[in-house]
Structure 1
Amino acid sequence: MSVNVPLRTVYAYDLLSAGAIGCRVDAAIESALRSGHLIGGQIRVALDGEVIYRRDVGVLDPAHGTPVAADSLFRLSCLSRLLVSVAAMALVGEGRLSLDEDIHRWLPDFTPLLADGSLAVITVRQLLSHCAGFPRRLPTAAVAAEAYQDASVADDTQLPDTLRQLGMASLRYRPGSAWGHSMASDVLAGVIAQFAGGSLEAALQRYVIGPLQLRSTGYVVANQPGPGPVFVKGQPVHPLKDGILSCADDYLLLLEALRQDGGVLLPKVLIGEMAAIQTGDLQLQGWPGRGFGLGFTVLRDPLAADSPESIGTWRLHSAGGHSWFVDPLKRLSGVALTNTAGNTTDSALARLLRNAVYGV
């Protein structure tokens, strides 16, 4: 005897249920482990402010078999730039920093030149939107470091020399005329350090780390073991510098604080300014269909980006192996911190996780 069972209609929101997302992300992670796109990492996804997926996977170092744990630390690499951007916007909110004023006011000895030898006028907005013309890395960066990890913002001991080198180099283009992810964040770090006794670390503590009580974030994290090696094509490499350290739980707290209108961090209007595309019709190399706000990319054309995310979604990924996103419309956010560099040059791992979250 046959029984006719009506098929339930599958709605779009079923794809974004906690259970469905968890199953798909688990499958994506297993695939990434098999392919070598992931050796060890922390992955978190939040929906409407609630963490719906949390997984610590793989090992910090296969040679020692140390598993990744919830409190394992990772080098943020260029993801550290978001902390600097938030600190700068907090100073804007206090009225101590202006987005459209020449940074020469705060860094009088910092005098980068245009290709024709004339002095460049650079604003805080251009630093935040990476339209200031600075290079992607220092001319003196070691070849090995270029491949994976030299994008962390310099700490207090390194920052003076970093600014000196950037100040001596010619800009790649006139500020405001093009876009390129660059060391503009280090210059911005030099600006905000002026408001904290010359210390970038003190500024980040005051405006980001302290207000959110990020207990595993900083250039030095007390009572926690340091990060292991970074793996490039499966081989362990020990970076020349650690930069800012963090864990996925801390970074997700930062993302959610911004998604939920800032709270203790920033006024709502300033978060809106960060999420507004600042780059006009400029094409972002490596980011089709996206513009750049004040600290991250912003999705403008899902078809061009080949992305299931909502228009207005914020996203960054790093050659150091990390990625994060915030979809304000769907109230989704997520972060993956890994020790597996080079897998996001073509955004392979970031794309795999993104598609798993959205069910495509």
Structure 2
Amino acid sequence: MDPAPVLDLVDRHVAEGRYPGAVVALRHAGTTTVHPTGTLAVDGTAPVTADTPFRIASLSKPFGGVLALSLVADGQLDLDADVARWLPELAHPQVLRHPDAALDDTVPAPRPVTVRDLLHMTAGTGLRMDDSPLAHAMWQRGVSPGPFPPVLDPDTWTAGLAVLPLADQPGAGWRYHTGSDLLGVLLTRVTDRALPELLAERVTGPLGLTGTGFWTDQPLPVLYAPGDDGLEVLDPADGVWSRPPVFPSLGGGLVATAADVCAFLGAVADDALPGGVRRADVLRDGLTDGQRRAAQAFLGPGRTWAAGNLELTLEVTDPWTTPGRFGWTGGTGTTAYADPALDLVAVLLTQRLMTGPHDGPEDFWQAAHDAVA
């Protein structure tokens, strides 16, 4: 692999001001290249380095998936168990008659929410990008997904979510994000351990990922959102992720280096995860046809959501994909996938919030594919 075209592309994006800085990590045929470029802030002088931690947003989800599967592997957790065993707030859920119904227009759920539902995003609750009563209520209660971890403590957050009805019957649909944060609360209650300690003990520690955690005392890039007058500060260098969080979020709360994310996905690809977690478990497509159809609106065609809390390609719909490619993208400008058919793991971490589905890293993925295909 000649990484130069990929690195030149990212250097050009930095030079053009798309984002102040970035780090690329590429692993191909046993060789890993890590390339930092740019600065930590607009008009700044402090450089991004290979060890710079970035807010990886929804790239946190696969770390949470592997953590949960490690508890399954050693018998502490049953994927088919009713979550009410550990999350009694979610016992006897009520479900809207239709997703846009009034909050009191509900029916009882015919079955409980399971641990599997949390992993697969089929619990009936999650991101609502509409004007429905439920979407408004989630925002008002501080339980709607966003670019920052919840500001409520886990118990208060769970209680606030639980008083709201589900949008879908458990197992009937697919709703993004919230299942991951519920999973984090559940794992702490299953083990009676703090989530940062649990993740370090079972995932990041055994894999040697010293740059990954829920906060950091290392210099962080300033996080920006595109605005009418250019990049606008969303989170400063000493902002949310510079101190221990109130709510450690498996949905989007981790910071990590590009090398750590590359090593993590490489461990999945190599079937070298700790704790008895197998690659086949992580990449298992557990969605039904109906659930997969519901997920297509968010994931896009030809893709599914695997048990390890990541996207899995089933059919080629973009020229840079192959069947079996897996990974995910974070809204803060992060993306990471492993492509076993190409023996490629590629990671791009930036500090520029993505504004929508057409503001993503497609050119990066095309360049990475072309460099090895």
Q: Find the aligned partners of 1:320 and 1:206 in 2 and give their Cα distance.
A: 26
Describe the superposition over 1:314-349 as per-residue Cα deviations: whole angstroms up to 9, x where unpaired.
Answer: 131122111110112222111111101115x22544
Q: Which amino acid aligns with 2:306?
A: G
Aligned to 1:118: 108
Report SS of the residue matched to 2:24.
Answer: strand
Report SS of the residue matched to 1:285.
Answer: helix
Aligned to 1:199: 194
Give 1:32-43 correspondences, 5 Å limit.
32-34=13-15, 36-43=17-24
Aligned to 1:241: 240
Which of 82, 92, 101 pairs up with 2:72?
A: 92
Report SS of the residue matched to 2:40.
Answer: strand
Report SS of the residue matched to 1:204.
Answer: helix
Report SS of the residue matched to 1:44.
Answer: strand
- Give the RMSD, CA atoms, in angstroms: 2.6
Q: Is the 8 A contact 2:23 2:348 kept in 1?
A: yes
Q: Find the aligned partners of 2:255 and 2:221 in 1 and give their Cα distance.
A: 8
Q: Is the 8 A contact 1:39 1:60 kept in 2?
A: yes
Aligned to 2:270: 260
Higher mean Cα deviation, 206-215 or 195-204? 195-204
Q: Find the aligned partners of 1:128 and 1:215 in 2 and give their Cα distance.
A: 25
Aligned to 1:171: 166
Aligned to 1:44: 25
Q: Is the 8 A contact 1:180 1:285 kept in 2?
A: no
Report SS of the residue matched to 2:90.
Answer: coil
Q: Is the 8 A contact 1:301 1:311 kept in 2?
A: yes
Aligned in 2, Cα 1:267/1:237: closer, same or farther, shift over 3 Å?
closer
Higher mean Cα deviation, 305-314 or 27-36? 27-36
Which of 134, 153, 166 pairs up with 2:125?
A: 134
Q: Find the aligned partners of 1:307 and 1:265 in 2 and give their Cα distance.
A: 35
Describe the superposition over 1:265-293 as per-residue Cα deviations: whole angstroms up to 9, x where unpaired.
Answer: 4432xx21321222233232232211111
Q: Is the 8 A contact 1:72 1:247 kept in 2?
A: yes
Aligned to 2:55: 75
After TM superposition, give the deviation of residue 141 of structure 1 in Å.
7.5
Report SS of the residue matched to 1:340.
Answer: coil
Aligned in 2, Cα 1:277/1:134: closer, same or farther, shift over 3 Å?
same
Aligned in 2, Cα 1:264/1:347: closer, same or farther, shift over 3 Å?
farther
Aligned in 2, Cα 1:307/1:296: closer, same or farther, shift over 3 Å?
farther
Q: Is the 8 A contact 2:82 2:112 kept in 1?
A: yes
Q: Which amino acid aligns with 2:323?
A: I
After TM superposition, give the deviation of residue 131 of structure 1 in Å.
1.4
Aligned to 1:288: 301
2:216 matches 1:225? no
Which of 341, 352, 355 pairs up with 2:363?
A: 352
Which of 321, 331, 347 pairs up with 1:335?
A: 347
Aligned in 2, Cα 1:36/1:183: closer, same or farther, shift over 3 Å?
farther
2:321 matches 1:309? yes
Describe the superposition over 1:154-205 as per-residue Cα deviations: whole angstroms up to 9, x where unpaired.
Answer: 59x7322221222122111112112222211011101111243242122112
Q: Find the aligned partners of 2:153 and 2:49 in 1 and give their Cα distance.
A: 30
TM-score, length-normalised on structure 1?
Answer: 0.83
Q: Is the 8 A contact 2:58 2:328 kept in 1?
A: no
Q: Is the 8 A contact 2:41 2:222 kept in 1?
A: yes
Report SS of the residue matched to 2:342.
Answer: coil
Aligned to 1:61: 41
Aligned to 1:278: 286
Q: Find the aligned partners of 1:266 and 1:333 in 2 and give their Cα distance.
A: 22
Q: Is the 8 A contact 1:42 1:55 kept in 2?
A: yes
Aligned in 2, Cα 1:39/1:141: closer, same or farther, shift over 3 Å?
farther
Aligned in 2, Cα 1:67/1:353: closer, same or farther, shift over 3 Å?
same
Which of 83, 104, 114 pairs up with 1:103?
A: 83
After TM superposition, give the deviation of residue 221 of structure 1 in Å.
3.1
Q: Find the aligned partners of 2:140 and 2:350 in 1 and give their Cα distance.
A: 26
Structure 2: segments with no counterpart, 5+ residues: 97-105, 129-137, 242-252
Aligned in 2, Cα 1:59/1:24: closer, same or farther, shift over 3 Å?
same
Q: Find the aligned partners of 2:30 and 2:83 in 1 and give their Cα distance.
A: 36
Q: Which amino acid aligns with 1:202?
A: E
TM-score, length-normalised on structure 2?
Answer: 0.80
